Amino acid sequence: MSLPPFFSERDGAIWLEDIELKAVCDQLGTPTYVYSRAAIEAAMSSYIRALGDHPGMICYAVKANSNLAVLQVLAKLGAGFDIVSGGELARVLAAGGSADRIVFSGVAKKPSEMRAALQAGIHCFNVESVAELQVLASVAQELGLEAPVSLRVNPDVDAKTHPYISTGLAENKFGISMDEAFDTYTLAHQTAGLRVIGIDCHIGSQLTELAPFADALDRVLALVDKLADAGITLEHVDAGGGLGVRYKSETPPDISDYVAALKGPLADRGLSLMLEPGRSIVANAGVLLMQVDFLKETEKHNFALVDAAMNDMLRPALYQAWMDIRPIQASAAKAKPWNVVGPVCETGDFLGKDRELAIEAGDRLALFGAGAYGFVMASNYNTRGRAAEVLVEGNRMHVVRKRETVEELFANESLITES
């Protein structure tokens, strides 16, 4: 398996841009997330280039990796942002993103979050139910503002991905069903405090084929045409995110083919295209570095006990995700199959199973594809501080998040006073 772009192997050692991964471990310890600025920029630039002069916006899905420096790099390239909470709104603004390039997704937004987003002047709210529409209208009216809205419809297509990250089926909690969508648009159109500007859908994540995206878009466009006939003209279609990446042997479509397939059918209708990619911008721009603390060979398995765990990287435990694991330096050890597991007290705490690795205690490993849905899903389970994060830029490494200390973990707790 070849390394993702911007990683290279030099004399048996792995580098990211012009930084040797060993240098990051030596300087900061492990576990540590490392991202490449050039890789993030290359992916975002591919989207921007693919959109070309078709009107629209590439709104990076902040949930995939919300480190301020990552958002800053993307904001500098002119990215828009797809947020799902007031917290993400605050992050984007703190990182220099502009409010009028933000879309606000999410199945349940609090009135306080709606207020903050309205006051900031975001581009659009992606609304997922009649109840949410009504609350948004009343919050906007209280503020004397108009909320720009798009309805997230659920096109009921099978994204053919892991069930936990499939969102566009009738059985999922997301979106408004196609049957109810027309009436909901009519209601939104007539409600004071709302300005209907678009439609959106998001059918799932880690999709490796174009067909489900195209199917969903067809269904969405049939509704757009029906709405236009009824006098409700939309400005944009937001096709969501979901383009998959290569973790092992997947062959997802190129960003350019994906965008071309979506913008094609919009051109004659004069609709702009919004996209909300997350994973395909950051996943392969990052690795999680860890150290092998102990090797433990049992009758059934060989365990490599590493210092990263499910609290640092949940994807293998939660989705049985396969992510490549490699030593960052060549070793003289004999290769054997290892289960790479963390120190957390759960059998589900594994990062990889049955991996053929030549390793010894003390060696460092890199888990690839870790730039998306890695650090952002980390927890403090087992009172483990969250990892440090580093952004590499050529031969410079920026520590963009310090490792969390134990004192920080209980800083908000207090002992009770014994009577």
Closer CB to ligand LLP, 159 or 365, in the complex: 159
What is the closest distance, in whole angstroms, from the C-beta atom of residue 379 to ligand LLP in the complex? 13
The catalytic residue among 59, 124, 201, 345 is: 345
Closer CB to ligand LLP, 214 or 399, in the complex: 214
* Stretch 281-340 residues interacting with ligand LLP (CB under 6 A): 315, 319
**How many whole angstroms separate alpha carbon 51 and alpha carbon 42?**
14
- Position 304: which residue type? A
Is omega for the bond preceding 31 within 30 degrees of 0, making it cis? yes
Q: What element of type H or E holds 351?
A: strand 350-357
Tell me the backbone φ, ψ of residue 390, rounded to 5 degrees. Answer: -130, 140
Out of 31, 86, 240, 327, the residue judged to bind ligand LLP by CB under 6 A = 240
**How many whole angstroms separate alpha carbon 259 and alpha carbon 47?**
7
**How many whole angstroms separate alpha carbon 375 and alpha carbon 127?**
27
Closer CB to ligand LLP, 286 or 327, in the complex: 286
Residue 345 is among the residues annotated as catalytic for this protein: yes
**How many whole angstroms separate alpha carbon 62 and alpha carbon 42?**
17
For 320, residues 6+ apart whose C-beta sits below 8 A from its C-beta are 162
**How many whole angstroms separate alpha carbon 128 and alpha carbon 238?**
13
What is the closest distance, in whole angstroms, from the C-beta atom of residue 275 to ligand LLP in the complex? 9
Closer CB to ligand LLP, 282 or 305, in the complex: 282
- Position 248: which residue type? K
Please tell me whether residue 279 binds ligand LLP under the rule CB under 6 A: yes
Closer CB to ligand LLP, 327 or 371, in the complex: 371
Quick one: which segment of 50-58, 136-144, 238-246, 284-292 binds ligand LLP (CB under 6 A)?
238-246
Out of 277, 342, 369, 371, the residue judged to bind ligand LLP by CB under 6 A = 277
Q: Which residues of this protein are in contact with ligand LLP, per CB under 6 A?
A: 61, 64, 82, 105, 165, 202, 205-206, 240-243, 276-280, 315, 319, 373
Indicate which residues carry an active-site annotation: 345
